Amino acid sequence: MIVNENNYYTRLDKFLRKNFQNIPLSAIYKMIRKGKVYVNGKKVKNPSYNIEIGDSIEIKEDIANYNRDTNKSIKPIKMNLNIVYEDEDILIINKPAGISIHPGKGTHIATLIEGLIYYGNQNNFKPLLVHRLDKHTSGILIIAKNAPASRILSEIISSREMEKQYVTLVVGKTNKSGKIDLPLDEKDSLTIYNTKNIFKTDTGYFSLLNVEIKTGRKHQIRKHFALIKHPVVGDDVYGDRRLNREFKRQFGLKRYFLHCNKMSFFYKGKRIEAIADLPEDLTKVIKKLKEGV
């Protein structure tokens, strides 16, 4: 494959991820690591290798074995999208909690990408995800409407020039402000927080935080706060299941308390700011906490 303006991404791994979406991510990195990927006839084992327009990319492995064709397996489904911002290159939505981005294994439940594909078909574009939100995280999700926009947005995110803010409720009493710079998956990671409110309940103390992440590691906020002994409320993976059950019983929270409320960045010289108010299920929890203070 020849790198051109429409399929170009700066890094080799990003180029392969975006242009060979039928190949699982783990397989892409395995092929790079084993020397199966060649750039201009030379073996490249560095995933972050910088490529340029005009380069020739070759995978010396039978990729026909990967039959997960996203265009065939994912069917468009009409869905009510909460659109926060849209222009000719970018679509930004307020993602509800409880909906996955992509289909998983087993019984099929409608996923966000299917709704985005339907909307794209109606408006003559192919949606390209440039970042992710976990199934039970609500809030701002940015989608590129073409390959050049996807490349630019991916580079903005990678360069840490995108402001990403969240609201979360964690267990215990936190400091007025702080930063967590503990590595995750052996990669540098930085989370900054400010405490908005502290609630005292029969179950214990809980802190409502504004959080900004400077890196985009998987489950970064949930992992970081668990590591400093203030896990996100409702998070059964990294937190306290017993406490979460009791909190659910008292306050009706049916997921972990995490919402992306703001993302802002400059795109082609224009500042774009997307804001998503706290959803009703989380505002009800805060109201009950305040009533119990």
Enumerate the active-site residues: 134
- Which stretch of DSSP H or E encloses residue 222? helix 220-227
Residue for token digits 């926009």?
Answer: 149
- Residue 123 and residue 119: Cα distance in Å, rounded? 6
CB 100 within 8 A of CB 106: no
Cβ neighbourhood burial of 54 (10 Å; 0-12, 13-18, 19+): exposed
Residue for token digits 């989608």?
Answer: 143
Q: Which residue type occupies 20?
A: F
Determine the 3-state secondary structure of 211 from DSSP: strand
Cβ neighbourhood burial of 236 (10 Å; 0-12, 13-18, 19+): exposed
Determine the 3-state secondary structure of 131 from DSSP: coil
Instruction: Kindly state the tokens that stand for 5.
Output: 């303006």
Beta-bridge partners for 86? 91
- HEC per residue, 173-184: CCCCEEEECCCE
